[in-house]
Each structure stands twice: as C-alpha cells, then as structure tokens.
Amino acid sequence: MESLAGRVVFFAVPAEEGGDLEWRLDDMDLSGHAADYEIVDLHLAYVMPARAMAAMVVDLLSDGARGAREVVANARPAMTRQQYVDFQRSVRRCEVYGGDGAA
C-alpha cells in the first residue's frame, strides 16, 4: 500500500473511444449509450475503470485518509443540494421511440 500512495495514473479511455480514428470520424453522429452503442472490449470497459477507482480509493485513504480529508476540506460544490435537485427535476423527461425515426 505504501508504494501506491500518490501514484494514480490515467491508463484507460471510455469504451466508445476504443474504435479507430476513421470509425469515429465516419460516425460522428453516434451518441453514447444509445441503440447504436457497442462495447467491443469488455476488459477495457469494465475491469480497467474498476482498477482506476480502486487505486484512487487507496490513495485517498492512505496515510490516515489524508487525501480524502483534504478533498472534503477544499470542496466547493458548484450547486447547493437544493439547486442540484431542482436542476435534475428540470431536465427529467421521458422519450418514447416509435421506430419511425421520430421521438
């Protein structure tokens, strides 16, 4: 654990970024997590993000949770709790796809 503290390194990309450049340029209108979304590398999509999160937890909790305490002490939320709830309620909607291309 001592050797991990302070050594978090970004080592993965979101699954949708795993395709080659031509694929991304040809299909720029694809939206993430829509009907056309496909995870092509399960290890990259599931295991690597879990490893990154575990490494972050180790760093935050090492040295008596010094890192976590620092984050909490310096956190300045962009919204109050009520502002966040109000915002989430304002963007909540239900869309039904009828199969004819119209939402």
For residues 4 and 32, give the distance between their C-alpha atoms in angstroms, rounded to a whole number: 33
Instruction: Let me know if residue 64 belongs to a domain.
Output: yes
Instruction: Let me know if residue 59 belongs to a domain.
Output: yes
Contacting residues for 52 by C-beta, under 8 A, at least 6 apart: 8, 10, 11, 12
Question: Would you state the pLDDT for residue 40?
Answer: 83
Instruction: Let me know if residue 61 belongs to a domain.
Output: yes
The residue segments making up the domain with residue 60 are 15-91
Instruction: Let me know if residue 96 belongs to a domain.
Output: no
Instruction: Let me know if residue 56 belongs to a domain.
Output: yes
Instruction: Let me know if residue 66 belongs to a domain.
Output: yes
Instruction: Let me know if residue 6 belongs to a domain.
Output: no
Residue whose tokens read 């978090």: 8
Q: What is the pLDDT of residues 87-100, one digit of tens each?
A: 999 988 887 777 77
Question: Would you state the pLDDT for residue 95?
Answer: 78
Q: What is the pLDDT of residues 18-77, one digit of tens each?
A: 555 555 555 555 556 666 777 888 898 899 999 999 999 999 999 999 999 999 999 998
